[in-house]
Structure formats: C-alpha cells, structure tokens
Structure 1
Amino acid sequence: MKKEIIIVMHDFRGGGAERVAVTLANSLSDLGNNVTLVFLEAKGPFLSEISSEISLRELKSKRIATSIIELSKIFKVAKPDLIISHMTHVNVATAMATLISNTRDKLTIVEHSQMQSNYLNKKSLYQKLIYLSTKVLYRIPNQRVGVSGGVCRAMSDFTGLDIRLFTSIYNPVITEKLLTVKYNKELRHEICKSDYLFVFVGRLIKSKRVGDFINAINLASSEISCEAIILGDGPEKYELEELAKSLGMDKKIHFLGFKENPHDYIKIADALVLTSEWEGLPTVLIEALALGTQVISSDCKSGPSEILSGGVYGSLYPVGDVNTLSELIVNSISLKPISCEQHLNQFTTVTAAYKYLGVK
C-alpha cells in the first residue's frame, strides 16, 4: 500500500549520512511511495542524485533550531504515514516538531555514528547541549534506528534508554548501478605507474586518521611497488599533503579531492583502506566488497567488524597501529577474493527500504 513519507535532512553535502538519506528516499520512491524530502539548504553534490519522482521542500529558515514550528506545520498538513529524520541535530528538532503536531507516532529517527564520540568532539556549548537534549527528546519518537548494532548500543549508552528501544537497520548501499561498474584500465594507468594501488575514501578530518594511511603506505612502499589515492576533502587536507611531502611520497600519494561517484576509483584499486577512530556503518567498506575490491579496516567502534563479520570478508587491525596496517597492505596483494554475495544482501537498497516501511 502506497505511503506518504517525509524525510528530513540538513542538506546534500558530500557525507555518508547525506548519501544514505538520498539513497533511502530513492528506494522508498521506487517502491511506489510518495516521498517528500524536507531540508534546510538545496546545496551539495547529492542533490543531483534525487529521483524526479520525489518532492522537494526547502525550509525558510537556514537553521534547524528555528525551523521547528515550520516543520510542525508541514507535518500537520501532510499527515504522513512515516517521518524519517537523519543526524542528531535534525532528529532533535524533528522530534520537537512531531510533539507539537501530534505526529510523534509516525517518527523514526536515525543515528549514523557514535554519539558519545561525537559529543566529546564538539567544540561549542550549543552543539553539546543538542546532544545532551537527546537524553529527554529521544523518548519522543516511535522508533529509534541505529545504522549498526554498535550505533544502537552507543545510542542506548548515551541517552540512558533501554537498548530494546533501538532498532538496527543497515544502510541502503548496494544498488543495481553499483553492481554494473566496470574496471577502467585507462583510469588505472593514468593514476598509477606502480604495481599496486590503494585507496582511501572519506572526509579529511582528525577522526578519520588519514595520516595513518599515508604512513602505512610509506612503510609498505619499501617492500612493494605501490601508490595511493585519497578521495575526499576537509580541514586536514593541507596537513596531510605536507605529511606526504615530508615522507617523500608526494608523487606516490594522490589527493584527488571529493568525488561524487568514487566507485570507478574503488574498482581499480587493489584494496580499500579505512583508518577511522570511530564510525557508524562505513558504507565505503560495503561498496568496496560489492565492487570486488579487498578491504582493510581499523577495528573501530562501530561498523567495520559487523560489515566484515569479524574479519571473514576483510582484514581488521587495531586503531592507530600503523605497523600492522602496513603489513596488511603488503599481504593483501597475495590474498584471493572471498565470495560474499549472500552476505551483502543485507545491505541492498530494497532490503533497507522494506525494513523502514516495516517500522511501526
């Protein structure tokens, strides 16, 4: 039965949560539902990926905290069957709006990362207060979704709410389009003149520990002929470029910036490396597995171990252990790919969409 669904998000910038929100919206629409995306700013690379069947509504205010009344009016008029909001600050405002509009029984909030780690990483008092308010306001929604079991546990620990009140729904990552990506020999030769190529995809911020990747590639280069590409932008970019230069690796480590579609680059790499201090459910690991590219990841909270089944479908190493990471990079060139098609079924867009529709 067709449902009226409203998805609330901040904008369409190049982050994992934004990509997930758009992919979920498209999937729910493809299943025949009427989907409306409500957002603060119509900007960001993922705006172009939204299905033409989806209605778009930009809020008048450019701050989510001052959009609560407007959101409540939208909910009251639309009478949606399901409201889904993404990310903590949006979740808080949306929860308050549903309380005003008497639609709290329709609300599902989604957390994409470790709440305690994010809280400690926030600089301003205002941002910290938003996180602290979840201890009360996360009692409002009908359902609370974490994108992994680890995220659910983190939500429970931070808010003090019973773990049984949280539902884990894996991100909608694997699309038909993703599975059609072909190996681009010309792109590989254009970028890499060495025998092996490794890739990092993500924001260049402190918690991603991209310096570990650069240092590990430097160590590995003494044993194998290799290069690396880094896809992403962020405040740490200059510092990371300087690190590569100081190691004499500036010709071997290529900073290619943010790519709206990183799949062509993941496909041509011998392995994808994730070095994060913490995550929620790093979709790039799932994308790499679906593309047949080997995966090496820090065993951080949370997501990597769940995705890789404790190391069955990829290699895990302790966060910050550059020497072990370097060894895994070197060893990866002799590993044979492991079939994981059945394992990946839980990360398809259709699976995720049906699970959200099943949330009552």
Structure 2
Amino acid sequence: MKDQRRFLLVLRRMDVGGIEQATQTLAEALADVGHEVHVLVLKGSSRRRLSSNVHVHHLDVDRASRRGTGLAQHLLDRLVLSPLIKGSGFVWRGKRCTRVFSAFVAELEATHGDFDMILIRGQGAFENLWAFDDPRAWRVVEAITGRFADSRRGRWLTRVLYRDKQVISVSHGVEQALNTYLETRDVPLAAHEVIYNAVPTGKLERLACAPISPTLPRPYLVHVGRLVPVKNQARLLRAFDLAIQQGLDHDLAIIGDGSQRSALEALAGELSLEGRVHFLGHQANPYPWVKHADALVLSSDFEGLGVVLIEALALNTPCIACDVPGGISEVLIDEQRRLLCVPDDQALADTMLDAVQHPLEVKPEWLKRFSEDSVVQQLLEITDRSSSHRRQRKFPDASTH
C-alpha cells in the first residue's frame, strides 16, 4: 500500500464491553484497507478473536513495572504515598508503567518501524500510561469517569491525567462534558477532536443471519447492555410493566450480564413479569435477536455514544432511548427523535407503545457518519496534520528566523 500507516491501539482489557468492541472494529477496519495495526492489551488475555491481519500483543505493564528496583518503588507507593494522598495511586503507578510501556513501544518500532498514531482507550489505560508523552499519542474518551473533586488535590490529580494531552471524544456530548469538567479545574488540553466509533455494518448483517435460540413466544422488544447501575434496567422493567398495563402485547428480551442481574430478576418477579421478560445473559452474538426485534430499548442514564443503537439501526431495527447526557441524541436524529423520551418510567412506557403502534422506517443515511470508511478517513487526517506539525517543528521555515 503506497500510503500505509502504522497504528498502535492500547487498552487495559480485551473483554466484551463497548470499548473493546470499538477497538476491535477500528483495528480491523484499518487493517482491511492496508494499514499495519497493532493492538496492545495491558491486563489479562484477550476474550476476542481479532482478524489475522491485526497484530495482538499482551503486556501487563503494572506487573512488569514491579520487577527489580520497581518492587521497592511499588511498596513505597502503596504503603506510604497512596495512603498519604488519597486517590493518588495511579500517579505513582503510572510513572512505573509508562517506563515499561515506552520500552515496549521502542522494541516494537525497532522491529516494525515507527508508529504514525498511538491510540490509548479507556480510563484504566489512561491512568497506567498518563506519563507517556509523545506527539503521536491520543487518548480516546468514551465517558467522563473517575472524576476528581473540585479541590486542590482533585485539581492536581486531574492535571496529571489530562493536562496538555491530545484527546479524541467519541461524541460531541462527551466532548462538551469533558471540556466543562476540565475548565472548572483550569486544565488545558493540547488538542481535542470528535470522532464517532465505527460500526461494521456488513459484519453485523452476516452475524444477524444466525438462528435465534431460544426463540420467544411473542413479538418482542430487546435491550442489549451490561447489567450495571448506569444502564438503569430497573427503569426499563418498570416502564415495560406500565406499557403492558396500557396494552403492549410484546415480550422483552434482556441480553447482557453484570452486577445488577440478581436485583433485576427480583424486580421482574415483584412486578409479575415472569414469562414476559427473558434474561438471556451474555450472548457472543446478540445480533439475531436485535434484527428480529420490533425495537431496541435503551434506558441508560448516560451513554458516551450508544454504539448498540447504531448497531440496531444497521439491522433496520428502530430504537427507543432516554434523552440523557452523552451521545444518544447525536445518533437518533430526524424522525427518530420522537422515540427519544425524558428519563422517566411513564415517558419510556409511552414511547414503547408509540414505537410498536407507529413503526419507524430506518433510513440508510442515518448510518453514514458511523461507517468504517468515515472513521478511518478522519483518523488519517489527524495523522497527516500531526506529522505535518512535527516536521514544521523539526525543520522550521528559514524565513521565520
């Protein structure tokens, strides 16, 4: 490939969450158009099988940083510095981890050549590698997590994590939230871009052709997501119960697992929803259920972007969601906005009824912003600008002297 670039994508774990899915999609999209792509997992083994044209590496930077003299530093950090300054554990750990990471990057580049861009995704990776200072490095922010108090200590911790970093937010909603948070703590960024996560439409369509097992006895709505507080599936269950009382003749399939599963199953029992709500647990391939649902329902209190909404639209399944901070309102545009509701049980119930009584036709143009081609092109434009700036700094115009 004439204009081949070399990318390194870094994340803490490679499990089944949204960050991991977005990383895999991006890595494979870049590799499929001829770029050289490396993925580095900082903790544990990968639970995902990436395409053979993506180079996958594993390096537990925290464990590796404790070897030799690093062990004494680790003990000092853990027993003295971290207890002395609450919340500062990542500061000391990050210094050690960054040394290990920098050495690993140097080894990779000695073998494969220099990287054009290094993308670090997720709070865990940010904290472990906060001290990595390289003009090719960008932090990809999916949500504003780990916020520190607006205090002297909190402002210092925020500066450590974000000051003069280059950041890519996955939605304008995340961009606005991050800017507001940093402005209140007087922490500047070096650069801030917005690039949506990509969705591999063709791949999803193939996966969605698999048979559904178990099948459901009625037409149904579907929810896909981790069963954790921020997803607020309790609101979903209460709203579904209200919708049934108002005449909804659908079941609800809940795909996903997490810390709230037992509580949610108990709530479904309290609402007498046995036989109408189906907890299907984690499914490696949820897309057949999404494809055949009459609508996907999202009840979250926050979504950085809401990739599950885009995936549903790619399968021609309309989406119902609460209009909450983040990127949901950037995904559900135009006619879809009537299926956005305030985060309220009754409003969500009313919107479920509206969705099944007045089906919405999904338009292909709603997906163009989230195509792999679009996202890859935006990343290439950033690498072009960054490399141009580096050359200008290295070889300044003689006329300016």
Aligned residue among 212, 235, 249 for 1:187: 212
Change over 3 Å in CA distance of 1:43–1:131 after alignment to 2: farther
Aligned residue among 157, 162, 167 for 2:193: 167
1:57-98 deviations in Å (ceiling 9; x for gaps)? 21144567452211111233413111001012312433412x
TM alignment of 1:68-147, pairs within 5 A: 68-77=98-107, 78=109, 79-97=114-132, 99=133, 104-115=134-145, 118-119=146-147, 133-141=157-165, 143-147=166-170
Structure with larger RCO (C-alpha < 8 A, sep 6+): 1
**Partner of residue 97, structure 2:** 67
1:114–1:302 Cα contact (<8 Å) kept: no
TM-superposed CA distance for 1:132, in Å, is 6.3
**Partner of residue 73, structure 2:** none
2:37–2:54 Cα contact (<8 Å) kept: yes
**Partner of residue 5, structure 2:** 3
- The answer as to 2:323 corresponding to 1:299 is yes
What amino acid is aligned across from residue 227 of structure 1 in structure 2? D
TM-superposed CA distance for 1:137, in Å, is 3.8
Q: TM-score, normalised by structure 1?
A: 0.87
Q: SS where residue 323 of structure 1 aligns?
A: helix
TM-superposed CA distance for 1:316, in Å, is 0.7
TM alignment of 1:1-360, pairs within 5 A: 1-45=3-47, 47-48=48-49, 50-62=50-62, 65=94, 66-77=96-107, 78=109, 79-97=114-132, 99=133, 104-115=134-145, 118-119=146-147, 133-141=157-165, 143-160=166-183, 161=187, 165-180=191-206, 187=212, 190-194=214-218, 196-222=219-245, 223-309=247-333, 312=336, 315-319=339-343, 321-359=344-382, 360=386
292-301 vs 35-44, greater mean Cα deviation: 35-44
1:42–1:58 Cα contact (<8 Å) kept: yes
TM-superposed CA distance for 1:209, in Å, is 0.7
Identity %: 28
1:241–1:250 Cα contact (<8 Å) kept: no
2:162–2:189 Cα contact (<8 Å) kept: no
Change over 3 Å in CA distance of 1:314–1:166 after alignment to 2: farther
Change over 3 Å in CA distance of 1:131–1:330 after alignment to 2: farther
TM-superposed CA distance for 1:114, in Å, is 3.1
TM-superposed CA distance for 1:299, in Å, is 0.3
Q: SS where residue 358 of structure 2 aligns?
A: coil
Change over 3 Å in CA distance of 1:135–1:62 after alignment to 2: closer
TM-superposed CA distance for 1:33, in Å, is 1.3
What amino acid is aligned across from residue 131 of structure 2 in structure 1? M
Q: TM-score, normalised by structure 2?
A: 0.78
TM-superposed CA distance for 1:41, in Å, is 2.9
TM-superposed CA distance for 1:279, in Å, is 1.2
Cα distance in 2 between the residues matched to 1:132 and 1:120: 9
Change over 3 Å in CA distance of 1:346–1:139 after alignment to 2: same
Cα distance in 1 between the residues matched to 2:326 and 2:261: 25
TM-superposed CA distance for 1:120, in Å, is 7.3
**Partner of residue 124, structure 1:** none
2:208–2:287 Cα contact (<8 Å) kept: no
TM-superposed CA distance for 1:312, in Å, is 3.1
What amino acid is aligned across from residue 167 of structure 1 in structure 2? E
Cα distance in 1 between the residues matched to 2:148 and 2:275: 36
130-139 vs 276-285, greater mean Cα deviation: 130-139
Q: SS where residue 261 of structure 1 aligns?
A: coil
Unpaired segments ≥5 residues, structure 2: 64-92, 387-401
1:244–1:250 Cα contact (<8 Å) kept: yes
- Give the root-mean-square deviation of aligned CA atoms: 2.5
1:181-209 deviations in Å (ceiling 9; x for gaps)? 5567x638x43212x30111111111111
52-61 vs 310-319, greater mean Cα deviation: 310-319
TM-superposed CA distance for 1:311, in Å, is 5.7
What amino acid is aligned across from residue 203 of structure 2 in structure 1? K
TM-superposed CA distance for 1:178, in Å, is 1.6
State which structure, 1 or 2, has the greater radius of gyration over its C-alpha atoms: 2
Change over 3 Å in CA distance of 1:339–1:232 after alignment to 2: closer
Give the number of equivalent residue pairs: 339
**Partner of residue 126, structure 1:** none
